[in-house]
Amino acid sequence: MKFYRRRHRRHHPHASELWRRLQIAVGVLLGVLAIGTAGYTALGLSVVDAVYQTVITVSTVGFREVGDVTRSYQAFTIVMIMVGAGAVLYTLGVLIETLIEGRITQEFGRRRMEIRVEELKNHIVVCGWGQVGESIAATLMDEGQDVVVVDRREDVAAHLLRVIGDATDDAILTEAGIERARALVVALDTDANNVYVTLSGRAAREDIFIVSRANNAYAESKLYRAGADRVVNPHKLGASHMAALVTQPNVAEFLDITMNDRELTVSISELTVASSSALAHQPLSEVDLAGNTVLAIRRVDGSFDHHPDMAAPASVGDVLIALGTASELRELHESFDS
């Protein structure tokens, strides 16, 4: 593995390495020009004539010499031709390599990225690479989800699958694989763009789950009308959370830890009741829930039942919100996921 990485860097230098080589080459060339100018000046030429003679010597253009050509002059010119021509050729070679290989590497990298995105299914498309989008992508990846980031900037983290372009362009969403994605997260900086991308995403896929960011309260209703399944206002959410930390700090912190701490033994998960599941045909109290506790049920109509009747079965399409250990939740999903 280590040998492969060394070969990879040698055949396809990183952009910073190519830039460093070019800087060295230009530095060598400037050094040769400076030495040549100083040498010819010492041989009796003016500074302008010395610069001129150095340039025509290292470039080997064959113009006549300036000044009196002595043996010392000839010897120094021979050295300058040999060293200077080499410096010029080296600089040109590095410059060509930087331009051509850099573009080739970039093109191959882009094509490899396209192929990887084309192979994805049930992934999540995240539009926007600001502070919110970056945090969303990081959290989803921690959960083991496949994520494709869409943003116009080219400074998106290199380890991510990404599509560089304007998310408001339908072709860019198609390139990100929205037809095969299971969710679309819209987290752009402006509400207008968020509404537009949400509308485009819903037009592309009627069944895709869309979560949109609202920067202002008045945009929330517009995003829902545009097709968002959930709308989140980070400012309102942050304010509510800070208030909860003041009024009920222990409850708020417990919920934070339960939802976000990967090392905690218990967590909360959700399970949709399928028509073939025993959850829809037997009272919940008689179903083996693998030790999990049902905290609430989101009914098909969107309402929450915070005190579900365990003596009755759940309805098809209901979503059980359960609390348990990682192994208990895994067993619950393995038993009842269709």
Buried b (16+ CB within 10 A) or exposed e, 194-232: bbbbbbbbbeebeebebbbbbbeeebbebbeebbbeebb
Identify the band that residue 11 occupies on the pLDDT scale cut at 50, 70 and 90: very low
pLDDT for residue 139: 87
Structure tokens at 64: 């006549």
The answer, yes or no, to whether residue 8 has pLDDT greater than 60, is no
Q: What is the mean pLDDT of the chain?
A: 83
What confidence category does residue 3 fall into, taking pLDDT thresholds of 50, 70 and 90? very low
* Predicted confidence (pLDDT) at residue 191 exceeds the cutoff of 60: yes
CATH superfamily of the domain spanning 265-336: Regulator of K+ conductance, C-terminal domain (3.30.70.1450)
- The pLDDT tens digits for 34-63 are 998 898 888 888 888 888 888 888 877 767
Beta-sheet pairing, 183-186 with 124-127: parallel
pLDDT over 50 at 1, yes or no: no
| Domains 124-232 and 265-336 are alike in CATH topology | no
pLDDT digits (tens, 9 = 90+) for 92-145: 887 777 666 656 555 566 677 778 888 899 999 999 988 888 889 988 988 888
**Who has greater pLDDT, 149 or 160?**
149
Q: Which pLDDT score is estimated for 178?
A: 93
pLDDT of 219 strictly over 80? yes
- Of residues 10 and 42, more confidence is placed in 42
For 252-310, how does the pLDDT look when each residue is reduced to its tens digit (9 = 90+)? Answer: 887 777 776 666 667 788 899 988 888 888 888 888 888 888 989 999 888 889 888 89
Q: Which of 139, 144, 163 is nearest to 152 (CA)?
A: 163
CA pair distance 213, 137, nearest whole angstrom: 14
Whole-model pTM?
A: 0.59
DSSP 314: P
Topology at the third CATH level for domain 124-232: Rossmann fold (3.40.50)
The residue ranges of every structural domain in the chain are 2-117, 124-232, 265-336
Burial of 8 (0-12, 13-18, 19+ CB in 10 A): exposed
pLDDT of residue 103: 61
Name the residue with higher pLDDT: 214 or 237. Answer: 214
Task: Look at residue 180 in the predicted model and tell me its pLDDT.
Answer: 93
CATH, domain range 2-117: 1.10.287.70
- Euclidean distance between CA atoms 186 and 168, whole angstroms: 10
Which pair of tokens denotes residue 81? Answer: 């031709």
CA pair distance 146, 121, nearest whole angstrom: 9
Q: What does the pLDDT read at residue 74?
A: 81
Provide the strand spans (E) within 128-204: 147-151, 161-164, 183-186
Mean pLDDT, range 209-222, rounded to an integer: 93
Residue 120: both structure tokens together: 């994805």
Cβ-contact 95, 22 below 8 angstroms? yes
* pLDDT value of position 330: 86
16 versus 164: the higher-pLDDT residue is 164
Bigger pLDDT: 138 vs 4: 138
> Token pair for residue 7?
């070969």
E strands, the chain, where?
A: 124-127, 147-151, 161-164, 183-186, 209-213, 230-232, 266-272, 293-298, 304-305, 319-325
The DSSP call for residue 290 is T
Does the pLDDT of residue 197 top 70, yes or no?
Answer: yes
Q: Looking at the predicted structure, is the pLDDT value of residue 200 above 90? A: yes
